[in-house]
Amino acid sequence: MLLLPSACTAPDGPGTDDSVPAATARSVRALLDRRAAAVTAHDTDAYLAAVDPRATGLRAAQRRELDDLADVPLASWTYRVTELTGRSTGRVTAHVRLGYRIAGYDRAPATEDRVLDLRRDGADGRWYLTADRPGGDGGGPLWRQGRVGVVHGTHSLVLGVGRTGRELRAIARTADRAVPVVSRGWPERWPRRVLVLVPRSVEDMAGLLGAPAADYRGMAAVTTAGTGGPAGAPADRVIVNPQAYGALGAFGRRIVLTHEIAHVATRARTTGATPVWLSEGFADRVAYRAEHRTAVQAAPELAGAVRRGEVPAALPADEDFGFAGGAARQAMAYEGGRLACELIADTWGERELFAFYRSVAGQRERGGAVERALREVLDITPAEFTARWRKHLRARLG
C-alpha cells in the first residue's frame, strides 16, 4: 500500500512547558507521527493503538472518524505541535495544528487546531491519547460530521455527508459544466477544477465555516478562503447549503455554482481593495453569459425599479449585498454590479474589463482604488462612470 506523506514537527520556538521533559516531547511527537501515518494508510489498528485502551468512548469515536474519511482522497496528513504542557506526573496536553491536503486540489494544507490530552501508562511506559477536542472557534473538516461520500467529476471533486449519491453526482455534473464556462470568462490561469462540499444541513454548513447558521440560511452556496489567494494557500472550497440549493431549479443551480466557481478562479485577483459590486458583479456576469436570458429576465428587481422611475443614484455599496436590507435590495445590488461590469465590457471591451478588475485589486487600499482604476484603465471619472451606468440601466431595463 502506498504511504502518503505524513509527519509531526516540533513546536516553532517557545511552546513546550519547562516542566515537560525533552524525552516526553519526543515521545509525543513520535506518537503523532505514527497516528498521521495510520490515517494516510487507513490502518485502523495502528490509528487506535495510540488511543488509551481504557477510553472506550474515545476509541469508538476515533474508529468512526477514520471510517468516515475512508474514501476522501488525501494527499497528506500532518500534526504540528504548537504547545506542550504538563498537567501532572505522567500527563500532558498537546495543542496541535492538523494539516491535510486533498489530492489534486490543495496546493497547501488546510488546517484545524486540536487539543490532545495524553497519559503515560505506568506498566508499559507508553503514551496514550485520552481526549481529542477542538482547539479553536473555527470550522472543522467535513468528515467530523459523518461518513463522507465522494464523487469524482471531470473538473470537480464533490464530498458530501448525509446526501445521496444521486445528489452528489448531479452537483458534480453542474460543476463540471460550470468550470469551462468560467475559464472562458476569466482569461488568467487557474487550476480549472473545483472542490465542492455538501453537508447535511445549513447548520452543518455553518459548522464548516465556524459561523452562525443564520449567516448562511438564505445562501445556496458560498466560497471559502480569504481574498488575495496566495500561492501557499489551500484551494477554495465551494460549500453548498443543501436546503437552499435544493429549492432551486436547474437554471438557478447552474447560476449558483458557476458564480461561486468564478470566485474560485478570480480569487488571486480579488483583494481588500475590490468593492463587492465588482467581485460579485463579475462573478454574476460570468454565470449569466452562459444562459439565454433577456436583460429584464436576468435583473427583475432592478428592472422594476427602473420602470418605476427609481434608478439608483449610485453603484451598490458593500452593505447592500447583505441580508439586513432585505431580499429585494440584495437582488438589486447583484444585478447592478453585473450591469456595471456589462457596461465596461460593452463600452470599452472585455480586455479592459479584465484590466480594470486587476487594476482595482492591485491598489494598496480600498479608498480611491476604483477611482484610480477608472482613470488609469477607462480614462473616466467616477461621476462620469456612474452617469453612464445609470443611462445603461435605463437603456437595458426601461
Q: What pLDDT is recorded for position 112?
A: 92
Same fold, 6-136 and 142-268: no
Q: What pLDDT is recorded for position 231?
A: 55
Q: What pLDDT is recorded for position 123?
A: 80
Residue from 200, 182, 79 nearest 142 by CA = 200
Domain edges within the chain: 6-136, 142-268, 271-398
Q: Are 397 and 296 in contact (CB under 8 A)?
A: yes
63: left (phi over 0), alpha (psi -120 to 50) or beta: alpha
DSSP code of 98?
E
Residue from 158, 250, 151, 253 nearest 199 by CA = 158
This prediction's pTM:
0.91
Sheet containing strand 148-152, edge to edge, reads 148-152, 156-161, 194-198, 237-240, 221-223
Classify domain 6-136 by CATH architecture.
Roll (3.10)
Going from the first residue of the chain to its last (398 residues), give the mean pLDDT of each consecutive group of 10, the final group possibly shorter. 38 54 92 96 95 96 96 96 85 95 93 95 90 86 96 98 97 98 95 96 93 88 70 80 96 97 94 95 96 95 97 96 88 97 97 97 92 97 98 96
Residue 387's identity, in one-letter code, is A
Q: What pLDDT is recorded for position 5?
A: 41
Report whether CATH 3.30.2010.30 matches the domain 142-268.
yes
Cα gap 46→30, rounded to integer Å: 13
Query: SS3 breakdown of the chain: % helix, strand, coil, rounded to 5?
Result: 45, 20, 35
